[in-house]
Amino acid sequence: MTNQETIEHALADLRIETPSWGYGDSGTRFGVFPQEGRPRNVFEKLEDAAEVQRLTGAAPSVALHFPWDKVDAYGELRAHAHALGLRIGAVNPNLFQDPDYKLGSITNPDPAIRRRATDHLLECVEIAETLGSTAQSLWLADGTNYPGQDNLMARRERLLASLREVYAVLPADQELLVEYKPFEPAFYATDIPDWGTAVLICQELGPRARVLVDLGHHLPGTNVEQIVALLAAQDRLGGFHFNNRKYADDDLIVGSVNPFELFLIFVELVASDRPLPRLTIDQSHNVEPKLAAMVRSVLNLQEAYAKSLLVDRAALQVAQLAGDVLRGHEVLIDAYSTDVRPLCARVRTQIGASAEPLEELRSSGYLERRATERNSERMQLKG
């Protein structure tokens, strides 16, 4: 097999998980901005996800969020996904919206609230098992705003006690992905503020606990690709929540602000010589059309991965061992500067997807049909 064929096979095997919450209504803390034809429930979110998969050929799974995506019959939801050619990705518990969690969920000083939060985590394990999901993706908003508000060491012990209980019942085919965030909504101390804290938690729990890296959850200037390399070396890299930021957790389209960082992350992933971890999009499409934004995100990931596959690894190693600083950098720039759009289009065609997904989405009439169907049914419900 030629190097070109190897690259095309790797690109064809790229699998990206889209989030159910990226298809529904969203906004900022100032307001929600509804869009025409938006899905009204998780079943319709899966229909939109299936269209993204049809166009790109790289998005066969959908991450769900609970209780946002709660239904009466999870077997029916799983069957609906299967009928659409999709599978359920990671299950994301929600421990940040309920008023009871104002002072924390599993770290809350009130044992009754901690019990409620832990029970929700256990419920999500059961939901995931019914849906055929293989991961719990956990982000905690827990933290404090003021010195003296709570005992920081006690909060850590509460957190570990809850997660040990969850990990003990985790089915063998599920893993626990632990996310971190330096601030927001807590501004003095966040209970899982960085990747090091997340790794320590995972080490306390066991080998199926791994760190999830959200690109928006870093302070300005953080070298995210170095974090990726270190986590991969320790076999603690569980996956990503891909988005992009200008200032903080902006949840912009992945690769829209800093595409070079995205490329460098894939450079490290390829260099680790391990299978790619779970690659999930996590974005808030507030002003841009939701399906077009999701397709654009998948395309940006495909292109960044393709460029990382083009890196001349032999030349890079020679330059690095010789201490040739500029040559090593130039090897990366050569790959990054390559126009890989024709390559990606060719691979999509080979796997039965669209050479030009955004153009086909705009011309297919899918958005207009869905808007007519869903808006019509909304009017009937109102009547």
The token pair that represents 128 in the structure block: 């995931």
Q: Which residues contact 143 (CB under 8 A, 6 or more apart)?
A: 104, 183, 185, 186, 187, 188, 189, 190, 191, 193
pLDDT at 378: 53
pLDDT at 382 over 70: no
Query: Global pTM?
Result: 0.95
DSSP state of 23: T
pLDDT at 380: 52
Percent of the chain with pLDDT over 70: 97
pLDDT at 62: 98
The token pair that represents 355 in the structure block: 């050479």
What is the pLDDT averaged over residues 250-265? 97
pLDDT at 18 over 60: yes
Contact (CB, 8 A) for 252 and 283: yes
Q: What is the mean pLDDT of the chain?
A: 95
Contact (CB, 8 A) for 108 and 101: yes
214 pLDDT tier (thresholds 50, 70, 90): very high
Please report, to the nearest 10 degrees, the dihedral formed by the alpha carbons of residues 192, 70, 123, 94 taken in order: 10
CATH number of 3-382: 3.20.20.150
Where exactly are the structural domains of the chain? 3-382
**Run of H or E including 214:** strand 209-214
pLDDT at 285: 85
Of 1, 21, 39, 16, whose CA–CA distance to 283 is shortest? Answer: 21
pLDDT digit string (tens) for 51-103?
A: 999 999 999 999 999 999 999 999 999 999 999 999 999 999 999 999 999 99
pLDDT at 368 over 50: yes
Which residues on neighbouring strands pair with residue 72, listed in sequence order?
A: none
The token pair that represents 65 in the structure block: 């969020």
What is the C-alpha separation between 206 and 192, in angstroms, rounded? 17
36 pLDDT tier (thresholds 50, 70, 90): confident
Please give the backbone phi and psi of residue 198, each rounded to the nearest 5 degrees, phi first.
Answer: -65, -40
